[in-house]
Structure 1
Amino acid sequence: MRIFVTGASGFVGGAAAKHFAARGHDVRAMSRSEASDEKIRALGATPVRCDLADVSASHLDGADAVVHCAAFVEQWGPIDAWKRFNIDGTAHTLKAAREAGAKRFIHISTESVLWRGQHLRGVDETYPRAPNSPYPYSWTKARAEELVEAANAPAFLTIILRPRFIWGPGDTTLLPTIERMMKIGQWMWINHGQAKTSTTHIANLVHAIELALTKGNGGQAYFVLDDGVRTMKEIISAIAATRGIKLPDKSVPSWLADTMAGVMEGAWRTFNLKGEPLTRFGAMIMSRDSVLIDAKARRELGYAPVISVEEGLRQLSAA
């Protein structure tokens, strides 16, 4: 199968491209630079020079399926960045995929499409999206999902996968953030890290992507999760421990973190300050429960985790 992957220079896209190339698929991947070309070739894939703004059917070159992983996932950035990457980029990629004759479009989304600042407890895919969320990442990913859902057609099946708290080897966000904040002495918990969370090991997400190449119902969203629920403190401390890092117990209440984040965002925008502030989204995501249900993926995709959290942690420690 010829598979076109966006975001292959990143965590999820890179893992997917490497997995499919190793299994003998013809993997082509969006690339914006020579450095990205090298990363993609190292994965066993073929780089295709284009980006989310100019991708066309010719770049996809007869792809059977598109795995759309590219997104602007930063918590801080230019005001228009989330829309350009997450909404407009998805629209361009959908158009290119349809015109290229691709049969499947697998969109990597997130539970963040549901966030308005509330807890998520025992939530499945019937829970309403938040296209008017106060958080740019959430509302742009929610609207991107709407585009993907609307594009579904008998000859062009679209599948939405929603992981939560992606972790594992190759992580470019969590461990680097922990290491950076520990180095400058700024790590602290919110509400002592007691928020409960579902998680998704990268191997389990890649397994779900592979299943979605041939299974699932078009126009549907699926949560993809590890087994079990843990507190933020439990899972983040365990991941940090795989690098020999012991996180301090220092904590602030959620009301204070939310207030600080709002003030800091306003100051950073007003005065164009350097660096990244604590964001409202960052404060929220660390203090609200996110307990999700993946029964739909197990039923319709045949999904089940291929690695446990415990084994994933053992592998990280040994790496």
Structure 2
Amino acid sequence: MTMLTAAPLDGATEKLALLRRIFLTGGSGYVGRNLIRYFSRRDVEVVALVRSAGSAERVRALGAKPWLGDLLNPDIAAGMAGCDVLIHAAADTDHGPGSGEQTRVNQEGTRVVFEAARAAGLRRGILISTESVLADGRPLVHVDETAPLPRRPAGNYSRSKAAAERMALAAGGPGFEVVVLRPRLVWGRDDTTALPQLCAAARSGKFAWIDGGGYLTSTTHIANLSVAVELALRKGRAGEVYFVSDGEPVAFRAFVSRLLETQGIVPTGKTVPRRLLRVVASLGDVAAALSGGRIKPPLTLQAYATSAVEITLDIGKARRELGYALVMSREEGLAELRSGQHW
């Protein structure tokens, strides 16, 4: 198995001579937990923002120093004292009809966090965003960072994360550089998001392939994302956005089938027409809007846009400018899930 040890970063020290202390939001979440493990193993101190005693214990057990605070409170600048950089991994990732709370967390929370980091004297901030900022329900085929944001996003998750990118980048300036990373379909060890949901759907009999599931998708193993974060901290150009992934795309059905098989689940052969699902998703959004959120639709356009069409990314920019290279192949990641061994 490939060891998760980044290759020498060449001129990386030109950007950050010393990376000693990181302020991390979302530390108790899936991505955040793995970033704590990654940087702690490199003797980088991580201060993780937490909202509860339970979260504080979880991040402390992983090797981080918890700091009790609120994403929406500018006072979090006090917790950033002595830190070099910010990694903003906290987000409300719900793909339902959306809510005011999601907007506050993703949009206003990002503004508060990045302005606090600038006020605290941090040198650089990384926003972990998503390819979903481009989602409108149509395929995204080999898109790169020049693709414009859609006029009508698929849903509130896409809308609020696009706003978060604007907020983060607007906070940048002399002395405080901001870089945005956009991974797609993060997976791998310790997954408490996509994989448990897929398993629950499969076990309940509610899972079916959309038009057979043969369309392509990009994916991003958590080990590859962790390396991309370090590279962005050290080498990313201020004000720039970078897509990252596992490289070559894979058929959605083939990948999800193998993910489920690592958990002892034999995927279903059921399939549903894409056109039908698109209608169901559109009607669900209308019903949720007209009811003021009281009706919870079985499918939203946001969820449809994430899983029903091709989404493939061009990561050439990250390779050229960051020196991004994979440290975990899909085969290795799947073998890790089957064996229970972790990088």
Superposition TM-score, scaled by structure 1 size: 0.95
Letter in structure 2 aligned against 1:108: I
- Consecutive unaligned residues in structure 1, runs of 5 or more: none
Q: In the superposition, relative to structure 1, how do residues 93 and 207 fare at CA in structure 2: closer, same or farther (>3 Å)?
A: same
Shift of 1:194: 1.7
1:135 aligns with 2:135: no
Deviations 1:224-281 (A, max 9, x none): 1102111110111111111111110111111111111233344455286587622211
Alignment correspondent of 2:27: 8
Equivalence map 1:211-222=2 (5 Å): 211-222=231-242
Shift of 1:212: 1.6
1:65 aligns with 2:85: yes
Letter in structure 2 aligned against 1:30: L
- Consecutive unaligned residues in structure 2, runs of 5 or more: 1-19
Alignment correspondent of 1:49: 68
1:231 aligns with 2:247: no
| Cα distance in 2 between the residues matched to 1:126 and 1:261 | 28
| Cα distance in 2 between the residues matched to 1:265 and 1:145 | 24
| Cα distance in 2 between the residues matched to 1:276 and 1:16 | 34
Letter in structure 1 aligned against 2:65: T
Letter in structure 2 aligned against 1:309: R
Greater Cα offset, 167-176 or 92-101: 167-176
Greater Cα offset, 203-212 or 168-177: 168-177
Alignment correspondent of 1:20: 39
Alignment correspondent of 1:280: 301
Letter in structure 2 aligned against 1:21: S
Alignment correspondent of 1:105: 125
Secondary structure (helix, strand or coil) at the match of 1:28 reads: strand
Letter in structure 2 aligned against 1:195: Y
Shift of 1:118: 1.6
Secondary structure (helix, strand or coil) at the match of 1:203 reads: helix
Deviations 1:275-307 (A, max 9, x none): 762221112222211111101111111110111
Shift of 1:14: 1.1
Shift of 1:130: 3.0
Secondary structure (helix, strand or coil) at the match of 1:214 reads: helix
Superposition TM-score, scaled by structure 2 size: 0.89
1:40 aligns with 2:59: yes
Identity, in percent, stands at 41
Letter in structure 2 aligned against 1:305: L
Secondary structure (helix, strand or coil) at the match of 2:43 reads: coil
Aligned residue among 73, 86, 90 for 2:106: 86
| Cα distance in 1 between the residues matched to 2:58 and 2:297 | 27
1:243 aligns with 2:263: yes
Q: In the superposition, relative to structure 1, how do residues 131 and 104 fare at CA in structure 2: closer, same or farther (>3 Å)?
A: farther
Aligned residue among 302, 316, 319 for 1:298: 319
| Cα distance in 2 between the residues matched to 1:66 and 1:88 | 16
Q: In the superposition, relative to structure 1, how do residues 65 and 192 fare at CA in structure 2: closer, same or farther (>3 Å)?
A: same
Aligned residue among 147, 164, 170 for 1:150: 170
Contact in 2 for aligned 1:3/1:25 (Cα 8 Å)? yes
Q: CA RMSD in A?
A: 1.7
Secondary structure (helix, strand or coil) at the match of 1:3 reads: strand
Letter in structure 1 aligned against 2:115: K
Deviations 1:194-236 (A, max 9, x none): 2211110000000011112211100000011102111110111
Contact in 2 for aligned 1:254/1:283 (Cα 8 Å)? no
Equivalence map 1:131-210=2 (5 Å): 132-210=152-230
| Cα distance in 1 between the residues matched to 2:91 and 2:155 | 15
Letter in structure 1 aligned against 2:175: A
Contact in 1 for aligned 2:171/2:178 (Cα 8 Å)? yes
Alignment correspondent of 1:263: 283
